[in-house]
Amino acid sequence: MKRLDSMMRITGVVMIAGLILTACAPAVTQAPTQVPVNTQAPANTQAPANTQAPANTQAPSDTQAPANTQAPANTQAPACPAPAAFDLANAPTTKSVTVAFSQEPNNAIIEYSDMTYADWVSQLILAGLGRWDDKENFVPELAADVPTGANGGVSADGLTITWHLKPCLYWSDGEPLTSQDIVFTWKSQMDPANAPVSRSGWDKISSIDTPDDTTAVIHFTELFPPWQTLWAQAAQGNSGGVLPAHILEGHTGLEKDPEIHQPTVSSGPFVIKEWVAGDHMTLVANPNYVGGHAKLDAVNIKFVPDPETALAALKTGDVNFNPDFAESDIPTIEALEPSVHLIVGATPSFEHLFFNLGTKAGVDGKGKSDFDGFCPFQDVNVRKAIMLGIDRQTIVDTLLYGKTTVPASLWPNSSWYNTKLTPYPFDQAQAAQLLDAAGYKVGADGIRAGTCNGQPVKFSLGIETTDKQVRVDQVLAIKDMLQKIGIEIKPNHLPAGSFFGSYGEGADLKVGKFDMGIYTTGYYPDPYTDSSLCVSVPSADNQAGDNDYHICDPKLDELFAAINASADPAVRKTAADAVQQYQYDIVQFIPLYARANVSGITPNFDAGPFGSTGYFAWNAVAWDLK
C-alpha cells in the first residue's frame, strides 16, 4: 500500500468483493485462437519463464485443411487500423493548462514510487485495465468489460479472473498493447531483481494464461477480493497500470530504470515530453490513447513547493489548478473568489504519527529489520502515553481551522470505519503516570530516561517528515506538547523525494533509521493492506517491503488475513473492525486527523467532475479550457 504525502480521495467503494459474490456458475471457457500459454510462477517467486508458445505446438502441415475449406473473408476479425503517427519531440502544446504540484515526483510510474504526486502523473500517462469514475463505479479502460460472474469473467470459486482487452490497442509509439503486457507487469512485480513498492496481491497469482492477444486468464492461489486493484490506476489503494513489455522486457532493477523514472512511451491520455528537474514537466496528448485524443494539447506541471506562490499564480492565471492545498489554506483560497474557486471534499485518508517498531531479531525469524527501533516503543504503555500527551483536537482547531476531525482508526470517512471506537483523549497527567510506571523518570534536564533491555535510554526522539509548512507547524505543536511530559522532540524535515525514497536510495523510513514519522495515506477502495504485515517489513533481504512501521505481530497478520478470507462484504467488515480494534488496543500509531482534498481552480479550466478514488486525474482526456 502506498505511503503518500497528500490529500487523498473520498470514500472508496466497498463493492470490490461483491463482484466475486455474483459468480454463480463457472466461468465461460473461451475458444482459444492460439495454444494457451501457461506462465506458472515458481515457488521461489522468480519471474516465470518465457510465456511464448513454443513453435512445435503448431499443427503439422499434413493436418492443415486444404485451401478451399477456408472460412470466407467476411468471417475474419476486421483488421486493426494503423496506429496514429506520433512525433513526441514536435507534438503541439498550444492548448494547455498548468497544474501546480507542491512536490516533485521521484518516479513517474507508481509501481515504483510511494508518492501521491507520482500517482497523479502515472494516471495521466499509464492506462489500467479498469478505473474508478466520479460515481465510484469501477469501469473498463483498456478492458472491454469488467469481469463478473454473470459474464464469465469471475469463476464460481473466485480464484480465476478473465480479462478481455479492447481490440486494436496501441502504445503511444505505435506498438500493439496486448495480453503479453499484462503478463509482463505481473512478472516484473514478482521478479526478485526488482524492488516495487509492494507485491501484495501479485504474490497471490499462480499463473496467467494468454490464449490470444486480447485475453488474460488470471489464476489465484487463494481468494483475493481486491483483485480489481491490480493493473488499475486511481490514486491510493491501487497497484498501477499495465507496463510496456516491448520497452522493459529484459530490464532488471526497475526501481532505478530511466523508463520508470521518465517513460518515453505511454498508454494513457498524455506522454511526458519534457521533465526539467526542480522546475516543470510537460506532457503532450497521446493520439493512440484508448479513450481517444485528449481535448488539450498539453498539460504543464509546475513544481511550486510554496503554497503562497501557488496561490499567487492561481490568482494571476499563471496556474490553472492546484490539487493539494492544506486545510490551513482554506480561508485564504476562499478570499480569492471569484478569480479562484475552492473545492473541498472529505476523504478516507489520514495524517498519522507512527513509531519505528522494528527489531533486528524479528518474530520467529520473520519481519527482521536492519535496525532496532527505540526500545521503549515495544511497551504499549509508552506508546499510549505519547498518544495521550498530544492534543490532536487543538492541532485540528488551530492549524486546520477545525475543517476536519480526529479519527480513532485509519479508515476515517469510510464505510469500513469501526464506529465503536472513540479517539483516545488528551490527558497528560495519565501520560506522565504511565511513563513513570514504566520506569522512565524525568531527569534534571527535564527529559525522561531509564533502562530498556538492560541498556540506558533517553527520551530525546526524532520525528521525521516532509518539509511542507503544515508539517513544520504540527511537529512544532507536538514538540511543545510532549515536552510537558518529559519527551524531547527533534524535528527532521526532508524534501518529499528523499523522505519517500526507496530502500536502495537509503531512505530512513525503509532502512529503519528513524524514531517516529508522519505522513498521509489511506486504505481504500479496499480495506486490505499489507503495510502492517511481517512479510512486508523492509530490509536488505526484502527491499520491496512497504511496512514503514517495521512492526511484526503474528496476531495482526492473522487479523488482516481474515479480511481476505471471504468475498462477503459483511464478513469482511467484521474482520476490518477487528483489525482496527486491535491496532487501537496496542496503539500501533497515532491518527492525527482525517485529511480533506483541498484544491484551487481557475474558472476557465474545465476539469470535469472529480472522482473520489481517482480524484482529479481519473478522466484527464476530457479536460478542456472554457
Q: Which of 380, 375, 386, 354 is nearest to 463 (CA)?
A: 354
Q: What is the pLDDT of residue 550?
A: 98
User: Hunting for cell 527489531 — which residue is that?
Assistant: 359
The three cell numbers of residue 525 are 477502495
Question: 99 with 275: CB under 8 angstroms?
Answer: no
- Strand ranges (E), 6-46: none
User: Hunting for cell 507485491 — which residue is that?
Assistant: 199
Residues 6+ apart with CB under 8 A from 210: 36, 37, 39, 51, 179, 180, 182, 183, 216, 217
Written as one string, the DSSP assignment of 513-576 is: --SEEEEEE---SSS--STTSGGG--BTTBTT---TT----HHHHHHHHHHTS-S-HHHHHHHH
Average of per-residue pLDDT values in the chain: 88
Global pTM value:
0.76
H helix runs in 106-210, sequence order: 116-125, 179-190
Question: 205 with 318: CB under 8 angstroms?
Answer: no
Cross-strand bridge partners of residue 520: 4, 351
Question: 356 with 514: CB under 8 angstroms?
Answer: yes
User: How far, in Å, CA of 21 to CA of 38, rounded?
Assistant: 27
User: Hunting for cell 478516507 — which residue is that?
Assistant: 348
Sort 169 into a burial class: Cβ within 10 Å, 0-12 / 13-18 / 19+: buried
> Residues 5-44: pLDDT tens digits?
443 333 333 334 444 434 433 333 333 333 333 444 433 3
Q: Which of 585, 580, 240 is nearest to 383 (CA)?
A: 585
> Residues 444-473: pLDDT tens digits?
999 999 999 999 999 999 999 999 899 999
Question: 186 with 224: CB under 8 angstroms?
Answer: no
Cross-strand bridge partners of residue 449: 441, 458
Which of 29-38, 190-199, 599-608 is predicted with the least confidence, judged by mean pLDDT? 29-38
3-class DSSP state of 277: coil
* Band of residue 4 on the pLDDT scale cut at 50, 70, 90: very low
pLDDT of residue 392 exceeding 60, the answer is: yes
Q: Which of 324, 327, 352 is nearest to 403 (CA)?
A: 327
pLDDT of residue 75 exceeding 50, the answer is: no
Q: Which of 411, 419, 615, 619 is nearest to 526 (CA)?
A: 411
Question: 539 with 545: CB under 8 angstroms?
Answer: yes
First to last CA, the chain: 37
- Strand ranges (E), 50-129: 96-101
Helical (H) or strand (E) element with 298: strand 298-303
State whether the Cα torsion 48-3-133-564 is positive or negative.
Answer: positive
User: Hunting for cell 511550486 — which residue is that?
Assistant: 304
User: How far, in Å, CA of 408 to CA of 588, rounded?
Assistant: 12
**pLDDT above 90 as % of the chain:** 77
State whether the Cα torsion 593-197-523-613 is positive or negative.
Answer: positive
Tell me phi and psi for residue 179, to 5 degrees: -65, -20
> Residues 141-181: pLDDT tens digits?
999 999 999 999 999 999 999 999 999 999 999 999 999 99
The three cell numbers of residue 76 are 475474419
> Residues 299-343: pLDDT tens digits?
999 999 888 999 999 999 999 999 999 888 999 999 999 999 999
pLDDT of residue 88 exceeding 90, the answer is: yes
What domains lie within the chain, and their CATH numbers? Answer: 16-42+82-305+602-625 (3.40.190.10), 346-597 (3.10.105.10)
Q: What is the pLDDT of residue 137?
A: 87
Q: Which of 259, 283, 286, 330 is nearest to 96 (CA)?
A: 283
